[in-house]
Amino acid sequence: MEFSLTIKYVNAQDNAIADWLSRSVSIEQLPPYSLCPIVNYLEADLNPSLFKLLTNEELSSEAKAEGEKNELPKVRWFNDLPYHVESRRIYIPKLFRESIVLWFHGSRLGGHQGIRRTEKRVKEYCWWPKMRETMEEVINNCILCNFQKVLTAKRTVKMALIKPHLFELISLDFIGPRRFHGNTYYILVVIDHFSRFMICESSTHPSQDMVIQCLQQRWLPLFGSPNGVLCDHGGAFIGSKFINYVNKVLSSRLIYASVEYPRGNGLNESSHRILETAIESHPDWAGLMFPEILSNCVLIYNSSPNISIGNTPAALVYGKDPRLPGLEVFN
């Protein structure tokens, strides 16, 4: 009996599955689809309605369709089942992908690990194009992970000093004395370091009580307690009553600019020039009192674009610019 034998050389890469099979178990011992162990685990853990066992035909039909459109250049075929030529992992059709990521990320054996670690786990078993995108889609939307992120994202005073979020770091400073209509005024300036939003309080007698009252009645009800309160060693900021108010009542950290904050209180000081120019040039035609003029000037400051934040302080706080008295905007 004669045999006509043709030896066909197959590129080692293209022969991946046959190569792997020859070193592990015989073809007869293999389940019909080598993904079966994963599918079974998934089924046990996930809501069955989420997960549907596909036949070999269903599993491969998507890859076949994509292959015909040349969308899967790295997929090869073995026994009618698609696999990735480089990783030698079985190809997973779209319907399965999310469930597999969910299982490796959030099942009882998932551990809610991050995107990179979950991706590495999944890649041990299977492959599909743009795996990272699927990982990100599923894991970034994981409710449990997002909930924990909020819990662990504890902001420290140090973080607030380096890069403050809204209302985390405020600074206090005084302008004055300034003469107005025979009186001497001091202006307390309170600024949020993220938005540059400002409130001011004028007084003929600056004191720690006046500062406490301003924070308690004008800042706290609207913006809450900051993580850090930055100030200099001015007389109103070094009294024990003020120190106690910041540390105990606000439970904030009192930070003296020159000591703990090398940048100093420059951010607050740079607002003084704008405020003082506005006050000095304010038209006094209606015979306004100093506090009213100050209110107008604070509104001017809060509703004017700040170059370093690229917006108005008011817009960063309220999401829109305030309506200015007398100014109608026609769109």
| The pair of three-digit structure tokens given for residue 106, joined into one six-digit string | 């959030």
- Give the span between the Cα atoms of 268 and 189, in whole angstroms: 7
- Give the span between the Cα atoms of 95 and 79, in whole angstroms: 21
Out of 112, 123, 165, 178, the only residue in the binding site for Zn ion (CB under 5 A) is 112
List binders of Zn ion among 199-218 (CB under 5 A). none
Q: Mask 243-272, x = binds Zn ion (CB under 5 A)?
A: ------------------------------
- Give the span between the Cα atoms of 290 and 280, in whole angstroms: 11
DSSP calls for 238-288: SSHHHHHIIIIIS--EEEEHHHH-TTTTHHHHHHHHHHHHHHHT---TT--
Binding segment for Zn ion (CB under 5 A), chosen from 83-91, 110-118, 153-161, 284-292, is 110-118
109 scored as a contact of Zn ion (CB under 5 A): no
- Compare residues 18 and 144 and give the one whose CB is closer to Zn ion: 144
Shortest distance (Å) from residue 142 CB to Zn ion = 3
Report the side by side order of strands in the sheet with 81-84.
75-78, 81-84, 90-91, 126-127
Count CB neighbours of 216 within 10 A.
13
Out of 142, 189, 211, 317, the only residue in the binding site for Zn ion (CB under 5 A) is 142
**How many residues form the binding site for Zn ion (CB under 5 A)?**
4
Shortest distance (Å) from residue 107 CB to Zn ion = 10
Out of 144, 222, 289, 324, the only residue in the binding site for Zn ion (CB under 5 A) is 144
Out of 54, 85, 145, 299, the only residue in the binding site for Zn ion (CB under 5 A) is 145
Using DSSP's 3-state secondary structure scheme, residue 61 falls into: helix
Residues that bind Zn ion (CB under 5 A): 112, 142, 144-145
